[in-house]
Amino acid sequence: MTVGAPIVELIGITKTYQLGETKVEALKGISLSLKKGEFTAIVGASGSGKSTLLNMIGCIDEPTTGSIILDGVDVHSLDDNKKSDLRNRKIGFIFQSFNLIPVLDVFENVELPLLINPAISAAERTDRVHQAIKDVGLGDRIRNRPDQLSGGQRQRVAIARALAGNPALVMADEPTANLDSTTSFKIIDLMLDLNAKRHVTFLFSTHDEKLMSKVSRKVHIADGMLVGASKV
């Protein structure tokens, strides 16, 4: 699909952790741009900095130095409340372990992140949730709880929850890691379809060769540094 203006711009990002008397450089001068509509994978060995990089982009953690521009907003200029609001409005998260609330049904799990946004009316919230659930093909499971769903269906609920807020960016850390091969292909194809229909930017970290083969761009990271990016 055709990509547009940058949704995320990273400029000279570093991240240093202090572990006792040792300084650990998790990220070393990362500069990266993600455009609207991209379907991108961050690829690298365990400990290479993939999750740290996702945490920076997702406004979950702050860089030691450098700038993060999310949909035109300099994240560093925001206080914690405004940063949380930006994250809630602009980013959807898909988790490896699904992170669904066991006592809530499909509708309630998808609705949950929208409840903290006072700008969304109850009627609009209901419409968004129904549309997101329909988009992932779970209209007939709307009142089922997570323990009544398969692993693939639970991941579909997680995807619907990420999409319900109409985010500019959907992020996923190893989204197919807990799924069998057949289900993984179905989930990947679903995300590709949603990427095309909704024009939402998708960004993953992954070791999954099946997912790597489907993305339009791979960003390689090693020892906290970008070592190349390639179109697929």
pLDDT in tens, 181-229: 888 888 888 889 989 888 889 998 887 777 788 888 999 999 999 987 6
pLDDT for 173-189, tens place per residue? 888 888 888 888 888 88
* Global model pTM greater than 0.75: yes
The confidence band for 118, taking pLDDT boundaries of 50, 70 and 90, is confident
Tokens of 107: 């509708």
Which CATH number is 36-59+82-231 given? 3.40.50.300
Cβ within 8 Å of residue 203, ≥6 positions away: 8, 34, 38, 40, 41, 42, 54, 57, 169, 170, 171, 172
What residue spans define the domains of the chain? 36-59+82-231
Burial class (CB in 10 A: 0-12, 13-18, 19+), 219: buried
